[in-house]
């Protein structure tokens, strides 16, 4: 009886672990920014991409546009923004 309970517990933990790993690996290049603001408040998020510490790179303006999220907040406010994490091309 004790080994059956241990086996079921182990199997349940493994299923949860595999599920979390599969979900995390699918979205490794994005994150969700969630704003918990009071009523009648809003935000606009601007993302700037810079090289990692110790690296240098030159980006043309067309390659380093500052994406904005929730820009149309007066028309359609979204408390959650899916933000893409990008790597800069090093020339």
The H-or-E segment that residue 12 falls in is helix 2-26
Domain ranges of the chain: 2-84
Provide the b/e sequence for 37-49 (b: ≥16 CB within 10 Å).
eeeeeeeeeeeeb
Interval 1-55: pLDDT, tens:
555 544 445 444 455 444 444 444 444 567 677 777 777 777 777 766 666 778 7
* CA pair distance 65, 46, nearest whole angstrom: 10
Determine the longest span between alpha carbons in the chain, in angstroms: 66
Tell me the whole-structure pTM to 2 decimals: 0.34
The H-or-E segment that residue 1 falls in is none
Looking at residue 80, its pLDDT comes to: 74
- First-residue to last-residue Cα distance in the chain: 63
Counting DSSP H helices and E strands in the chain, the numbers are 1, 4
């Amino acid at each position: 009886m004790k080994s059956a309970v241990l086996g079921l517990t182990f199997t349940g933990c493994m299923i949860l672990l595999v599920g979390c790993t599969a979900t995390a690996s699918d979205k490794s290049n994005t994150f969700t920014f969630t704003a918990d603001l009071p009523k009648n408040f809003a935000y606009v998020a601007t993302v700037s991409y810079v090289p990692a510490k110790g690296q240098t790179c030159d980006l043309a303006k067309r390659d380093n546009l500052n994406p904005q999220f929730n820009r149309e907040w007066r028309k359609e406010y979204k408390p959650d923004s899916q933000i893409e994490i990008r790597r800069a091309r090093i020339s």
